[in-house]
Chains A and B, each alone.
Chain A
Amino acid sequence: MNGFCAVFKRELKGYFATPVAYVFLVIFLFFAGYLPFREKFFEMRQADLQLFFNALPLLFVFMVPSAAMRLWSEERKSGSIELLLTLPITVCQAVLGKFIAAWCFLGIALLLTFPLPLTVHYLGEPDWGLIITGYIGAFLMAGGFLAIGSFFSALTKNQVISFILSVVACSVFVFAGNPTTLEYLALTISPTMVTVVESLSLQTHYESIARGVIQFGDIAYFFILIAAWVIACMLVLEERKAS
């Protein structure tokens, strides 16, 4: 537990000790505001955040890997991994410490979008339940992408490679649920397989939570997704930490 706390504390502080956090937050908040307004946020005359939540998957596909790419690549490149893993810290504690710290950082980024819900609250009477489930869904989605990103970050010393690979992997998870993709797949594979692909897609589960329906299946999907990639990250790290 001590190892986990030490890594968690250092990581979260580390974000704000470098310009990384501020650059990330400014860019993220700019696009989180810009994308809904491009879709005519005010002209819709609806007091909800549907446009904001619809824009998030695309935004996260690029933003989350950029926050995740440094997690292990940097550590391996600078050699500090040799320091970290010769302290009395297990690989498991180190991976979880870093992952949770980065997830908290993304949580902070999401919380900083608070002017949007405040705006709709001022202008109308939004359904707060829907907004809260939307944020829960967004937070879970960020965790899923982050787990994918941390895996690819452990895979290579090069941050650019890690970023590109995780963007591609995240896009696959988002676009697998896209109607166009599914229609195309229906031409080549059996309908059961199409349903399987659809249920594996992150988009489907995110949208169902964002619509205000919290189902066990959707929550379980995110936790299994996160656990699988985080465990894969631990295994890869154990194997390649010194290479």
Chain B
Amino acid sequence: MIDVRQLRRSFGPIVAVDGISFAAQKGDVVGFLGPNGAGKSTAMKMLACFLRPDGGTATICGHDILNDPIGVRMSLGYLAENAPAYNEMTVAGFLDFVCDARQVKGGQRKKALDRVVPLCSIESVYHQTIETLSKGYRRRVGLAQSLIHDPPVLILDEPTDGLDPNQKHEVRRLINTMSKDKCIIISTHILEEVEQVCTRAIIIARGNILVDSTPKELTDKYKCSLTDVFRKITTTKKTA
């Protein structure tokens, strides 16, 4: 469902993403791992058609990100880093706007809201303005926004950042239940999360894919915890 070919992007002299390629199918939960500034967010922004790649391309559900960005965005749910939203709007108004933009109408809209609002547990803040929400609730509103049209592909940039342990557990459970019939990419710094939810781990550093494997294979191969694997891979390659 996702096919990335030689995707590359630089900002001035800094190469953020240096020709990465990978593919992911339905049922995959791909974890993007990497130190800060490794290019995870940049890669995700390009897949969501927010940034234009300098070279290479990708297709999502058969839509090319260069030629058919609208088709890509229709089949994609995207949660950006820090879950941006319109602060002056209420949660209800905000989700209504997203439904308008995504052409979820009438009875379909009511059904979508009835599904997504309890799923992300935002009933209690439904009529509050977004600027009054805590970080955790904001992120859950962002998650609700990305799920409202029940997309086949989900791209979530640090979906559990800023959530308390219970909420983190809830979001992971949510990802696990959805993973059967979707293709999901998440980026995270929490390695236990990768072990719990991801079927694949892609480790990126300085714009390159260093490892593309399953979490279990990694721990078996290096015979240590995923944290140590991560440290080994990202630090040795840097000094080399």
Name A residues whose Cβ lies closer than 8 Å to a Cβ of B.
2-3, 5-7, 9-10, 13-14, 17-18, 78-83, 85-90, 241-242
Contact = CB atoms under 8 A, between A and B. Distances in A.
A162 B58 CA distance: 36
Contact of A88 (B80, B88, B102): B102
A88 B50 contact: no
A83 B83 CA distance: 8
Contacts of B89: 10, 14, 17
22 contacts: A3-B101, A9-B100, A13-B93, A78-B84, A78-B86, A78-B87, A79-B80, A79-B84, A80-B84, A80-B85, A80-B86, A81-B84, A82-B45, A86-B49, A86-B76, A87-B98, A87-B101, A88-B73, A88-B102, A88-B103, A242-B45, A242-B51
Interface string B87-100: 11100010001101
Contacts of B74: 88
B86 A10 contact: yes
The listed residue with most B CB atoms (<10 A of its CB), out of A78, A88, A241, is A88
Contact of A14 (B48, B88, B98): B88
B137 interface: no
B80 A86 contact: yes
A87 B45 contact: no
Contacts of A241: 50
B101 A86 contact: no
B86 A2 contact: no
A14 B73 CA distance: 24
Nearest to A83: B84
A13 to B, nearest CB: 7
Contacts, number: 67
B112 to A, nearest CB: 15
Contacts of B174: none
Nearest to B77: A86
Nearest to B155: A86
Interface in B174-222: none
Given A78-B87, A242-B45, A2 B50 contact: no
Contacts of B78: 86
B145 A83 contact: yes
A82 B50 contact: yes
Contacts of A3: 101
Contacts of B93: 13, 17
B23 interface: no
Task: Point out which of B48, B51, B100 has the most chain A C-beta atoms below 10 A from its C-beta.
Answer: B100
A6 B85 CA distance: 15
Contacts of B70: 88, 90
Interface in B96-134: 97-98, 100-103
A241 B86 CA distance: 17
Contacts of A88: 70, 73-74, 101-103
A3 B69 CA distance: 14
B73 to A, nearest CB: 4
Contacts of A5: 100
Given A78-B84, A83-B145, 15 more contacts: A6-B100, A10-B86, A10-B100, A17-B89, A18-B88, A78-B86, A78-B87, A80-B85, A81-B84, A83-B85, A86-B78, A86-B80, A87-B101, A88-B70, A88-B103
A89 B49 CA distance: 11
A6 B84 contact: no
A70 B161 CA distance: 29
A90 B73 CA distance: 10
Given A6-B97, A242-B45, A242-B51, A83 B73 contact: no
A3 B74 CA distance: 12
Nearest 5 interchain pairs by C-beta? A6-B100, A79-B84, A6-B101, A87-B101, A88-B73
B235 interface: no
A242 B50 CA distance: 7
Interface centre among A9, A14, A78, A86 (most CB of B within 10 A): A86
